[in-house]
Amino acid sequence: MHRAILGLFVGLGVMAGQAVAQPTADRADPPKTTEVAVVTDYGLGCRGSSGLSPHLWVKNLPYIGSQNFQYVVKPVCPCAPVRIFYSLARADLPVGNCSILIDPTRYVGDFGAMSDGTGVATLLQPIPYVKELVGAELFVQAAVLDYKGEFLHLGALSNGLYLQFGAL
């Protein structure tokens, strides 16, 4: 069911996996609106030309219907292409000094932007108000085009993020 509904949002890069129900004392299957939004970072990125790994984080929690959910990636090269990749599963695939932290076999989409002149990329990602997204999980990692980066001398990779969508 999630795949069919979430398939509608491939253009937005919003995809997710199975719902996670939290049992309560009086109900075995609570309404999905009781789900909380969760963001947890994991793993390490690999360095770019600045000598630092880009750090991926979010400015707010992933609630359905949020029109101002934003990813931030820094430090990166000024005016560099930055891409956010989504997967339904976590991974730890070593590639030289780097690790791909999302499962490429469960890849579901990506979107991107350019960093600003100070080396910060802010990517706005509206989340549609689709009740079936509540409790869905997504794993995210950013890649930055950087010719001196440790990822195959083509770029740098960020840490990973685990997202669970919630409802207010």
- Collapsed DSSP state (helix, strand, coil) of residue 69: coil
Higher-scoring residue by pLDDT: 16, 96: 96
Task: With a cut of 70, say whether residue 69 has pLDDT above it.
Answer: yes
Neighbour tally for 36: CB within 10 Å: 14
Give tens-digit pLDDT for 99-153. 999 999 999 999 999 999 999 999 999 999 999 999 999 999 999 999 899 999 8
Given this model, what pLDDT does residue 34 score? 52
Residue that has been written with the tokens 């199975």 in this structure: 18
Given this model, what pLDDT does residue 41 score? 96
Pick from 91, 129, 131, 124: nearest CA to 107: 91
Rounded to whole angstroms, the Cα distance separating 28 from 161 reads 29
Rounded to whole angstroms, the Cα distance separating 40 from 123 reads 18
| Band of pLDDT at residue 168, cut at 50, 70 and 90 | confident
User: Average pLDDT for residues 71-87, to the nearest whole number?
Assistant: 96
* 35 DSSP assignment: P
- Mean residue pLDDT of the chain comes to 83
pTM score, whole prediction: 0.79
Task: With a cut of 90, say whether residue 3 has pLDDT above it.
Answer: no
The string over 88-120, giving b where at least 16 C-beta atoms fall within 10 Å of a residue's C-beta and e elsewhere, is: bebbeeeeeebbbbbeeeeebbbbbeebeeebe
Task: With a cut of 80, say whether residue 76 has pLDDT above it.
Answer: yes
Pick from 106, 49, 100: nearest CA to 75: 49
Task: With a cut of 80, say whether residue 20 has pLDDT above it.
Answer: no
| Band of pLDDT at residue 50, cut at 50, 70 and 90 | confident
User: Average pLDDT for residues 69-93, to the nearest whole number?
Assistant: 96
